[in-house]
Amino acid sequence: MPVENTLSSTVATLIDRTADGNDAFMNGDMKRWLALTPHAPDFSLVSPFGAWTTGGFDHSSERLAAMGAYFASATTSLEVIAAHSSVDMIVLVVVERQHGLVGGLPPQDWSLRVTLVYRRNGADWLLVHRHADPLVQPITLDQLSIIVRGEVAGSGDPT
């Protein structure tokens, strides 16, 4: 089978796995999410809450329980904007369309613009980088300047 056909099939499978993983995550099923989304040891995250998290992923039961308690009752879909692939790397540019309970807030839209970078590890693909932001809807220059200046009320990832 030509490499191009194999990659196309691999990208489609990874897109399905990503959609299933996102649904598990947004519904608080961290065990299923982690099985569908194995992380590279050098995983990096640009969180929708801002700031950087680097140096791997905390797989501890305490961390997974806290994350699982934070998300619930979501409906999700994955809109693929672009997919780029090579033999050892796949990049997905997506919009995670989701509506549900997050952090005890009332049900609402939690859609995110996301870039995911996967790296081949033997026969599997590990998530090496995730960049997510909530700017799915357009904002004005004035709104952007408030965010850039750090004047948004409240900050930080509570999980």
Rounded CA-CA distance 101/106 in Å is 6
How many other C-beta atoms lie within 10 A of the C-beta of residue 124? Answer: 9
Q: Name the residue with tokens 């691999």.
A: 10
| Angle in degrees, CA 99, 135, 44, rounded to 5 | 90
Q: What is the pTM of this model?
A: 0.89
28-71: per-residue pLDDT in tens?
999 999 999 999 999 999 989 887 776 688 989 999 999 999 99
| Cα separation values, 154 from 13, 18, 133, 151, 157, Å | 38, 30, 16, 9, 10
What single DSSP character describes residue 59? -
Band of pLDDT at residue 99, cut at 50, 70 and 90? very high
